[in-house]
Amino acid sequence: MSVSAPRHVRVLIIGSGPAGYTAGVYASRAMLNPVLVQGIEPGGQLTTTTEVENWPGDTEVQGPDLMVRMEAHARAMGCEIVSDIITSLDLSSRPFTATADSGAVYKADAVILATGARAKWLGLPSEQKFRGFGVSACATCDGFFYRGQEIVVVGGGNTAVEEALFLTNFASKVTLVHRREELRAEKILQERLLKHPKITPLWFHEIDEVIGAADPLGVEGVRVRDVRTGAITEIPAKGVFVAIGHAPASELVKDQLELHNGGYVKVKAGSTETSIPGVFAAGDLTDHKYRQAVTSAGMGCMAALDAEHWLAAQEALAPAMA
Ligand code: FAD
Ligand code: NAP
């Protein structure tokens, strides 16, 4: 990596999910010439799903298609979109300094953080061992490999239920392993799951170990534990899809900004202002409650408007302070 001469930008947007692209649309229309750095997952979490049925204006849209449209929209408004990853961010002096994986260095008057969230893992050594060899957190990406096979999905939220339903397109049988008897998923999804002939829920169970062969490396099943009795049983499966939620991607700022609820960036109520003036946060990175595409996009809009007002106030103050 070679380090380039720093480039000054008025607004740097970090992240390319619904929050980042919406911030890009609004900041461009405010003539702030924003630069948006996409990160390792251009388009964010919705690129890992299929049908999205709750994006207003589209009864049904494919997640990846929606994100391609959002990117095109931000570009059309004048947002510069860069394929890179921000590896460090220094918020201790102004302008803020962001360094990217390519070596590019940005000096930004204002920063909009929209780094979203990433899949959580169970934390079992056997899960780690078989990741990419039968253990996955993305049914859309990997479901195709399990045609005619038995599959286990872990979790009880919207993601787990949607993944289980999607996997019935390939699998001969899907077992949904959930630690309680009640699902967290929306009622409409629960209904679809419970009446699906290929899906069997296994209530009150947790994964104890993923089991499989060493050569070639591959999953053969899971050992599950009944949380009420401790009894252990085995379920045969070639694929294990872990869908137990997401954790905020706040590593860049964890020692610099106030966080809450396990790493979510804290923002002032009704705003996207963080604990450092000039740094704004939007989307799943800040939101432990709603975590939807539409709320993330809404917060992206708020962040761009907040940045615009904050920059205008700084500029109005500057001559008086000179
Ligand atoms: P994300 O979409 O998480 O995007 C984060 C972005 O930040 C990514 O582009 C990533 O590359 C970037 N990034 C991270 N770190 C860096 C870095 N260091 N440098 C640069 N960039 C970085 N919501 C709905 O409303 N409807 C649905 O049907 C729906 N289905 C879903 C299905 C699945 C399988 C999942 C996982 C989620 C689903 N959601 C759905 C939730 C929705 O996807 C999220 O609420 C939304 O994507 C959050 O948007 P975001 O912009 O905050 O962040
Ligand atoms: P979630 O709603 O946080 O649900 C996580 C599930 O995993 C819960 O059922 C939880 O069990 C279980 N779980 C957590 N840790 C576990 C562990 N260590 N072992 C076993 N089980 C564990 O996460 P999500 O389903 O990924 O959804 C995240 C957000 O994205 C939500 O806001 C959701 O609405 C949104 N989303 C929306 C859609 C949609 O609108 N169609 C689709 C996907 C996601 P408990 O229930 O017992 O806590």
Do the domains 7-118+246-321 and 121-242 sit in the same CATH topology, yes or no?
A: yes
CATH number of this structure's domain 7-118+246-321, picked from the four choices 3.30.110.70, 3.50.50.60, 3.90.1150.10, 3.30.420.40? 3.50.50.60
Q: How confident is the model at residue 322 (pLDDT cuts 50, 70, 90)?
A: very low
Active site residue 142: yes
Helix ranges restricted to H, 146-216: 158-167, 187-194
Distance 185 CA to ligand 2 centre (A): 7
Interval 67-89: pLDDT, tens: 999 999 999 999 999 999 999 99
According to the CATH classification, is domain 121-242 in 3.50.50.60?
yes
Query: What distances in angstroms separate CA 221 from CA 117, 202, 211, 224, one per listed residue?
Result: 28, 14, 5, 10
User: DSSP secondary structure string, 76-145?
Assistant: HTT-EEE---EEEEE-SSSSEEEEETTS-EEEEEEEEE---EEE-----HHHHHTBTTTEES-HHHHGGG
Distance 69 CA to ligand 2 centre (A): 27
What pLDDT, on a 0 to 100 scale, did the predictor assign at position 318? 79
Name the strand (E) or helix (H) holding 221: strand 217-226
Distance 154 CA to ligand 2 centre (A): 10
Distance 175 CA to ligand 1 centre (A): 26
Single out the catalytic residue among 142, 226, 255, 306: 142
Query: Model pTM?
Result: 0.88
Active site residue 65: no
Of 100, 118, 156, the closest CA to residue 17 belongs to 118
Distance CA 318, CA 322 (A): 6
What residue segments make up the domains of the chain, in order of their start? 7-118+246-321, 121-242
Better pLDDT: 1 or 77: 77
Q: What amino acid occupies position 301?
A: C
Q: Is 24 in contact with 70 (CB distance < 8 Å)? A: no
What pLDDT, on a 0 to 100 scale, did the predictor assign at position 2? 61
The ligand placed nearest to the CA atom of residue 101 is 1
What is the position in ligand 2's atom list of the atom closest to the CA of 120? 15
Single out the catalytic residue among 138, 226, 255, 306: 138
Pocket test for ligand 1, best of 21, 35, 41, 45 (most atoms within 8 A of CB): 45
